[in-house]
Amino acid sequence: MPRRGWIGTSLVAAALLLFPPLSGFHPYYLYLVSTALLFGTLATSWNLLAYAGQISFGHAAFFGLGGYTAALVSLSGLSPWLALALGGAVGASGAAAIGMASARLSGASLALGTLAYTEIWRGIAHNWTAVSGGGAGLIGIPPLTPLPWLPLDLARSRTGSYYLALAFLLLVIAVFWGILRSRLGLAFAAVREEEERASLLGVHPLPWKVLAFALSGFFSGLAGGLYVNMVRVVEPDLIFSHYFSILPLVMATFGGLGTLLGPALAALALYLASELLLHPYIPAFHQLPYALALIVVALYLPGGLAGLLPSPSPLPKRGEGETRHGAA
């Protein structure tokens, strides 16, 4: 990353770290920015999956599986921290399952398959009343308990949830950064660029596709678990909403597919513009930023906001990836 990029990233990170005291620990603004950070995690996890050549319209399934798991484990009396971890694990398992089932699909067929997967889980949650609460959902989800070694009261304020959402975002960015600079990233790129040629070179697509789904599902499940803990309620039409599938796609595309920070920064910008600028004054148009972002990408910025920068995108056009990775 160029020096200017590191300076800009450092400024954004410092602003996010200092935001709670700068906002006077206002609970509403902490909730909004926490939710924006969770969308940043979702957008980055979607971007990770796209880096391996997989297109998902079903991230709400992974998000919802993590949310319901965290809610059920917490309500059973176990630690909410364990509930978060299990939410991530179940999100990864659910994502790996659809990754294996859709191994022969690609493009629009894969996108529609993942979309149907979300609808299946929404239907299960609506009808499995004894476990999910049906359409009424589950309420009274316990908050995260304070930890003696952590100086944040996670039970009685939104500050702890804010910093936890920030930690999840930094974690998924760090994992993606590591992938981009490892053989795992080269394997993902090989599968993305040309599956048949990758197979001939010994890189069998199925394990790498499933791994990409599992990693993406894990972070989506973590985000779902924390979201449920923040709102203290979960119900099928909320947690399995297409809102949590389409928005990460829009945010990742607008920020720049394959870039490290683009999807997260786009998530923060689009969500906060919608909730702070439009929703209070023109609520009927509060989703306008997402529509405009898609139009701008389709007509003017095929590489997203990252396309405005001089450095090339890590997602090359088909045929260019071999030259670049081969040269590396």
- DSSP string across 156-223: T-SHHHHHHHHHHHHHHHHHHHHHHTSHHHHHHHHHHH-HHHHHHTT--HHHHHHHHHHHHHHHHHHH
Distance CA 83, CA 75 (A): 9
Is 286 domain-assigned? Answer: no
pLDDT digits (tens, 9 = 90+) for 152-199: 665 457 888 999 999 999 999 999 999 999 999 999 999 998 887 777
Is 288 domain-assigned? Answer: no
Distance CA 115, CA 246 (A): 10
Helices (H), the chain: 3-22, 27-51, 59-75, 80-101, 107-127, 129-132, 159-180, 183-193, 195-200, 205-231, 236-239, 243-255, 262-272, 288-299, 320-327
- What's the domain count of the chain? 1
Is 256 domain-assigned? Answer: no
Helix 80-101 × helix 205-231 angle, to 10°: 140
Is 66 domain-assigned? Answer: yes
pLDDT score of 124: 97
| Low-confidence residues in the chain, pLDDT < 70 | 1-6, 8, 151-156, 310-328
Is 213 domain-assigned? Answer: yes
Domain that holds residue 145: 25-242
Is 201 domain-assigned? Answer: yes
Is 314 domain-assigned? Answer: no
pLDDT score of 4: 58
* Position 43, amino acid: A
pLDDT score of 235: 95
Q: What is the pTM of this model?
A: 0.90
pLDDT score of 170: 95
Is 262 domain-assigned? Answer: no
